[in-house]
Amino acid sequence: MFSYTFQWKQALAKLPLMLDGALVTIEIALLSMAIGIVLAVVLTGFRLSNNRFLVAITTTWVELARNTPALFQIYMAHFGVASFGVHFSPYVSLLIGITFNNAGYLSENFRGALKAIPDTQARAARSLGMSAVQAFGYVVLPQMLRIAFLPMTNQMVWAILMTSLGITVGMNFDLYGVTQDLNALTFRTFELFALAAVIFYVMTKIIQIGARLIATRLFRY
């Protein structure tokens, strides 16, 4: 009844290829976070503006990002836009999909963080002669990023895991894509995916521990 023979050596021989894939996974996650954070700051700014049109952009974005499957978001960034004649490579589609998701979630995190900072902080900064932009940049933003730091690391972990959805749009050189291709060649399904899971685990664990170390260095107050 259990006739499968484990062939770990075969799988381990493919480890270098999988680690190359893992680098691509990290690259996509980092890029999607960097762009996502910038977009999230802009979206949060839109939400706080009194412009109805800008508020609507943020609301729509956040609602879609948080209430539809990430798979749908990545699919739309590839096959959805292809219907209108826009063709992105699987890499770009995956990056767009994850970035869209990141920006939506992070914007909500930032909004919550801003609520935790008293208005009097910006008022005190303005009363010292700072412009609105200076007050935000030097006084409010650093405090906001501190409060939102842990949610941000969660999102980073999530971004790493979301890259696995890339196979649905034909992405084949990130960790999950590489593993899938190797599986098709060798049929060492359990060994290869178990190995991929370990690599995913190690990557996300490093991010969590790294974030904690950075936080203690960065936020001494």
Partner 1 sequence: MIEIENVRKSFGPLEVLKGIDLTVQKGEVLTIIGGSGSGKSTLLTCINGLEPIDSGRIKVDGTEVHARGTDLNKLRTKLGIVFQQWNAFPHLTVMENVMLAPRKVLGIGKAEAAAIAEKQLSHVGLGDKLDVYPSRLSGGQQQRMAIARALAMSPGYMLFDEVTSALDPQLVGEVLDTLRMLASEGMTMICVTHEMKFAREVSDRVAFFSKGVMAEIGTPQQIFDAPQNPETAAFVKMTQN
Residue 18's nearest CA partner among 187, 206, 176 is 176
**133 binds partner 1, rule: CB under 8 A:** no
**172 binds partner 1, rule: CB under 8 A:** no
Residue ranges in 109-128 that form contacts with partner 1 under rule CB under 8 A = 118, 120-121, 123-128
**139 binds partner 1, rule: CB under 8 A:** yes
> In terms of CB distance, is 137 or 210 closer to partner 1?
137
Work out which of 7, 10, 143, 172 binds partner 1, going by CB under 8 A. Answer: 143
> In terms of CB distance, is 133 or 185 closer to partner 1?
133
**214 binds partner 1, rule: CB under 8 A:** no
Residue 151 in tokens: 């949610």
Shortest Å, Cβ 148 to partner 1: 13
> In terms of CB distance, is 115 or 205 closer to partner 1?
115
Cα dihedral 101, 189, 180, 80, rounded to 10, equals -50
> In terms of CB distance, is 2 or 221 closer to partner 1?
221
**138 binds partner 1, rule: CB under 8 A:** yes
**129 binds partner 1, rule: CB under 8 A:** yes
Number of residues that bind partner 1 (CB under 8 A): 21
Under a CB-based contact definition with an 8 Å cutoff, are residues 142 and 108 in contact? no
The Cα–Cα gap between 59 and 39 comes to: 14
> In terms of CB distance, is 66 or 115 closer to partner 1?
115
Shortest Å, Cβ 207 to partner 1: 23
Residue 49 in tokens: 């503006």
> In terms of CB distance, is 143 or 186 closer to partner 1?
143
The Cα–Cα gap between 76 and 64 comes to: 12
Give the residues lining the site for partner 1 (CB under 8 A): 118, 120-121, 123-131, 134, 138-139, 142-143, 146, 219-221
